[in-house]
A and B are shown apart, each in its own frame.
Chain A
């Protein structure tokens, strides 16, 4: 064991997996820190599972390297890697009871019967299933099966836990409970979690960092709020949360702020690079960060403003959702927290909207 804490560090360098001519994973480089909760987020077919399977050892990379705690594991069979794994369908052994399922990895490691029973009992208690040890998997509900699978994956105290859409088959309520439980477990165990999901809300809620995958590549890595506030590409902006996209033409650069012409107005946006004047670019902003700016609107922060027409108004309980059309025809979405004190906008109404320069990103 290294002194790097209870969690393993994982380093993927140029990892690649090709099937015939298609690349499921096309060169992923990613450093996962000890004790981190990292989520691989991406649409179906983006290579998340394949990446995870290669880390676990069930798939052999066709290129690149995987190092765990600095040592390459590519040539090591899965049963020597000492990694916990939870599968989407749980993969519980149907002929073994919950207790025997959880005891399975301990048995493989030669843990004695008495010690095994003690550890299994503890794991069942940790998963809040103290009385379910003697049941067979088919006698357990989906959520209970999920927790048995989780208990089985951590009972042998691995330093790395891999999970492939472990909550995918559960209903929303249960999923949200288990999300919190996973966070708690992560904090309690202090080991490294690599979590795969296509659900952006789940990724945002649970992760220390998210790696957004697309087409077998990592599009962007970062903390949830960084990815959400500063998406680095149009793909990330639209996959992670909802985004408005505004075509614009660069008119100048002031420090790290781009001044651009958009829908007949001058709009400012954050930009890490230095686009050339006259270049056609795309600006993005989040629907919930735009406000109606007529009437009693005041702000100290620098604002962008546009004139729009309301084309659709939907009341959705906790918020209202408006479809807007800018002067040159670009469609936008605005989300406003609902309140009886706020006047609802009518379809066809012409008005002004405003949002912070800090919430405007050039992608």
Chain B
């Protein structure tokens, strides 16, 4: 029986327990590998953790100790608009990635002969920088871009569609970039399902669709949850893509933060950053408690 499937049903108690117990089990042996990582840890501390922390501190100590920056957020219409827009964008991107990614993950597992090719295509976005990919989408989606030209030539439209600089452009480009984060955890969960289960279902009278609905889909849910978590959290903080293809009318939280930093509104930018971080952490915390998700995340990271 596959491990992922078993862990899926361990429930909350077991998940918490193993999370707590582990650190106490550390003996002297892991100390050596830890020392090897020390230079990097030091680097991260000095050049990443400390600056981020001091930046975040500005949300409560600029100009003096205060919670007023947070207190004003609920009445801040610009913030509320941008925050809800960010959540909405992340949600639609996650849904889009799930709808496109699940079948891809399924084909990755079910058609092992083509798996290398499919994997290559899925991972292609990883080999190019976000900047280049976003430029590519600009070329594709623009007023005189490939898509509009093709549609015009085919006579399906008579005026170019406005896609670039709309939320739709952001969503399309983000789904493309984030797709691997959806496909890999789902494929991993699917791979762990004992193939004899589908056979058994079929032998017991389940049509292929019924087998998928009642056996494969529920058993792949830890992978789905892991993929949804990764894509949603990554989408929350996306900056370059929305900034380049999404236009300036419907901006996201990360764009607002950048704007505020540009205008040297450090305290406001810091408050927004804390909020973004807290939202992401809260979502991670909730998802990690779903049975099986943590395990699937760790397994697909390997």
Q: Which of B22-30, B32-40, B63-71, B193-201 contacts A (4 or more CB under 8 A)?
A: B193-201
For A95, give its contact among B5, B199, B204 (CB under 8 Å). Answer: B5
Interface residues of A in 122-141 (CB under 8 A from B): 136, 138
Q: Which of A23-31, A83-91, A329-337 contacts B (4 or more CB under 8 A)?
A: A83-91
Cβ-defined contact, B6 with A94, below 8 A: yes
Cβ-defined contact, A156 with B196, below 8 A: no
Does A2 count as interface, using CB distance less than 8 angstroms?
no
Does A220 count as interface, using CB distance less than 8 angstroms?
no
Cβ-defined contact, A95 with B203, below 8 A: no
Min CB distance, B12 to chain A, in Å? 16
Report chain B residues within 8 Å CB of A82. Answer: 205
With A78-B203, A83-B203, A104-B201 in contact, is A91–B5 under 8 Å at CB? Answer: no
For A85, give its contact among B1, B203, B206, B219 (CB under 8 Å). Answer: B203
For B196, give its contact among A78, A87, A104, A105 (CB under 8 Å). Answer: A87
> What residue in chain B is nearest A110 (Cβ atoms)?
B205
Q: What is the size, in residues, of chain B's interface with A at 8 Å between Cβ atoms?
A: 23
Cβ-defined contact, B202 with A105, below 8 A: no
With A89-B1, A94-B5, A94-B9 in contact, is A108–B210 under 8 Å at CB? Answer: yes
Cβ-defined contact, A138 with B197, below 8 A: no
Report chain A residues within 8 Å CB of B219. Answer: 94-95
Cβ-defined contact, A91 with B194, below 8 A: yes
For B199, give its contact among A58, A107, A138, A152 (CB under 8 Å). Answer: A58
For A108, give its contact among B1, B6, B206 (CB under 8 Å). Answer: B206
Does B207 count as interface, using CB distance less than 8 angstroms?
yes
A83 and B200 alpha carbons, distance in the complex (Å): 11
> What residue in chain A is nearest B4 (Cβ atoms)?
A94
With A94-B6, A95-B9 in contact, is A108–B204 under 8 Å at CB? Answer: yes
With A78-B202, A79-B205, A104-B204 in contact, is A91–B9 under 8 Å at CB? Answer: no
Cβ-defined contact, A93 with B196, below 8 A: no
Interface residues of A in 56-105 (CB under 8 A from B): 56-58, 77-79, 81-85, 87, 89, 91, 93-95, 104-105
Cβ-defined contact, A138 with B204, below 8 A: no
Report chain B residues within 8 Å CB of A77. Answer: 202
With A94-B1, A95-B5, A95-B8 in contact, is A109–B205 under 8 Å at CB? Answer: yes
Min CB distance, B225 to chain A, in Å? 14
Min CB distance, B200 to chain A, in Å? 4
Q: List 22 A-B contacts (CB under 8 A).
A: A58-B199, A58-B202, A58-B203, A78-B199, A79-B202, A79-B203, A85-B200, A85-B203, A87-B200, A89-B196, A91-B196, A91-B197, A93-B197, A94-B5, A94-B9, A104-B201, A105-B205, A108-B204, A108-B205, A108-B207, A108-B210, A138-B9
A77 and B200 alpha carbons, distance in the complex (Å): 13
Report chain A residues within 8 Å CB of B214. Answer: 104, 107
Does B218 count as interface, using CB distance less than 8 angstroms?
yes
> What residue in chain A is nearest B214 (Cβ atoms)?
A104
Nearest first, the 7 A-B pairs at minimum CB distance are A91-B200, A108-B205, A105-B204, A91-B196, A85-B203, A78-B202, A94-B5
Report chain B residues within 8 Å CB of A156. Answer: 204-205
- Residue from A78, A89, A152 whose CB has the most chain B CB atoms within 10 Å: A78
B residues lining the A interface (CB < 8 Å): 1, 5-6, 8-9, 194, 196-197, 199-208, 210, 214-215, 218-219
0/1 string, A136-177, CB within 8 A of B gives 1: 101000000000000011001000000000000000000000
- Residue from A56, A81, A87, A91 whose CB has the most chain B CB atoms within 10 Å: A91
Number of A-B pairs, beta carbon distance below 8 Å: 72
A287 and B247 alpha carbons, distance in the complex (Å): 91
Min CB distance, A361 to chain B, in Å? 40
A105 and B204 alpha carbons, distance in the complex (Å): 5
For B215, give its contact among A84, A89, A93, A138 (CB under 8 Å). Answer: A93
Min CB distance, A251 to chain B, in Å? 56
A23 and B216 alpha carbons, distance in the complex (Å): 32
Min CB distance, A216 to chain B, in Å? 22
A81 and B199 alpha carbons, distance in the complex (Å): 13
A77 and B205 alpha carbons, distance in the complex (Å): 10
- Residue from A57, A93, A109 whose CB has the most chain B CB atoms within 10 Å: A93
- Residue from B199, B205, B208, B219 whose CB has the most chain A CB atoms within 10 Å: B205
For A56, give its contact among B1, B203, B206 (CB under 8 Å). Answer: B203
Min CB distance, A300 to chain B, in Å? 55
> What residue in chain B is nearest A137 (Cβ atoms)?
B1
Min CB distance, A253 to chain B, in Å? 51
Report chain B residues within 8 Å CB of A79. Answer: 202-208
Min CB distance, B14 to chain A, in Å? 12
- Residue from A58, A81, A94 whose CB has the most chain B CB atoms within 10 Å: A94
For A89, give its contact among B6, B194, B206, B218 (CB under 8 Å). Answer: B194
Min CB distance, B3 to chain A, in Å? 11
Cβ-defined contact, A104 with B206, below 8 A: yes
Min CB distance, B218 to chain A, in Å? 5
With A91-B196, A108-B210 in contact, is A57–B203 under 8 Å at CB? Answer: yes
Min CB distance, A163 to chain B, in Å? 12
A108 and B203 alpha carbons, distance in the complex (Å): 11
0/1 string, A343-359, CB within 8 A of B gives 1: 00000000000000000
Cβ-defined contact, A93 with B201, below 8 A: yes
Min CB distance, B191 to chain A, in Å? 15
Min CB distance, A275 to chain B, in Å? 47
Min CB distance, A272 to chain B, in Å? 40
Report chain B residues within 8 Å CB of A109. Answer: 205
**Known A58-B203, A107-B214; further 12 A-B contacts with Cβ < 8 A:** A78-B199, A78-B203, A79-B207, A83-B203, A87-B200, A89-B194, A94-B1, A95-B5, A95-B8, A104-B206, A108-B205, A153-B204
